[in-house]
Amino acid sequence: MKTSLTLFLLTICLNSFAQKNGQNPYGLTVINNFNTYKASHKVQPNNELVELKKAIPSVVLDIRYATKNNFMKQVMYKQARAFARKPVVAHLKKIQAILNKKGYGLKIFDAYRPYAITIEFWEKASDKNFVANPAKGSKHNRGCAVDLTIIDLKTGKDVPMPTSYDSFEEAAAPSYENLPPAIIKNRNFLINIMQANGFSVIYNEWWHFDFNSWQDYDLMDIPFEKL
């Protein structure tokens, strides 16, 4: 009973601290203090942001925002790394095992994204339909979204999909049907595996998957180099 009460009181204190130290112009609470983040995953281990490559060594990384090969045409991340909340990584590890048995593997473009980057995207993007509004925050900011595709393990090449990553084309939508049957089959194969294992695809990006329990996690603005 004492342990439960202690955890409850600590959670209250953490929330209060976050409110005082993580407010932004939109009135959202964003965890931007590393010590607050560390304290949160001591109370709740699922809050930990786990590095994907360390947890799933076979996963391929193509972190576009650490390069100029992205829709912003500029380097957004100082490090080419990918993180997600502990349960998200556990689900991705399971998906990787399923794919490997079928001759495929995951390629990750992006996962946890610091909130400050979302603000930059919103300010500079030409099409606001493809970037998250910082007034609400992104599932990426919660460590609960992942942008990905699949590769053929025999060739190491990407499995053909409707568009390139971060495309603003109409064909990027998961419901878009004016495509060759083989491309639709590849897209649906990826989406079905992800949705059968804890994720939901969003309406306009075949590569973007939200973890189904994203509501349980706070918005974060901790840079990669601190994790």
- Give the chain's radius of gyration (CA, Å): 18
How high is the pLDDT of residue 87?
A: 98
- CA-based nearest residue to 76, from 132, 131, 112, 117: 117
Write down the domain spans for the chain. Answer: 46-226
- In the CATH scheme, what is the code of domain 46-226? 3.30.1380.10
For residues 223 and 32, what is the distance between their CA atoms, to the nearest angstrom? 9
Give residue-wise pLDDT tens across range 90-114: 999 999 999 999 999 999 999 999 9
- CA-based nearest residue to 41, from 73, 11, 81: 11
Least confident of 10-14, 40-44, 145-149, 216-220: 10-14
Phi, psi of 195 (to 5 degrees): -75, -20
For residues 198 and 184, what is the distance between their CA atoms, to the nearest angstrom? 22
How high is the pLDDT of residue 23?
A: 60
Q: What is the distance in angstroms between the CA of the first residue and the CA of the last residue of the chain?
A: 33
Has residue 118 got a pLDDT over 50? yes
For residues 55 and 88, what is the distance between their CA atoms, to the nearest angstrom? 11
Has residue 3 got a pLDDT over 90? no
Q: What is the H or E stretch that residue 118 is in?
A: helix 115-124
- CA-based nearest residue to 161, from 133, 134, 182, 138: 182
Give residue-wise pLDDT tens across range 218-227: 999 999 999 9
Structure tokens belonging to residue 84: 């997600």
Phi, psi of 208 (to 5 degrees): -100, 125
How high is the pLDDT of residue 26?
A: 84
Phi, psi of 183 (to 5 degrees): -70, -45
Pairing of strands 205-211, 199-202: antiparallel
Mean pLDDT score across all residues of the chain: 90
Give residue-wise pLDDT tens across range 155-171: 999 999 999 999 999 99
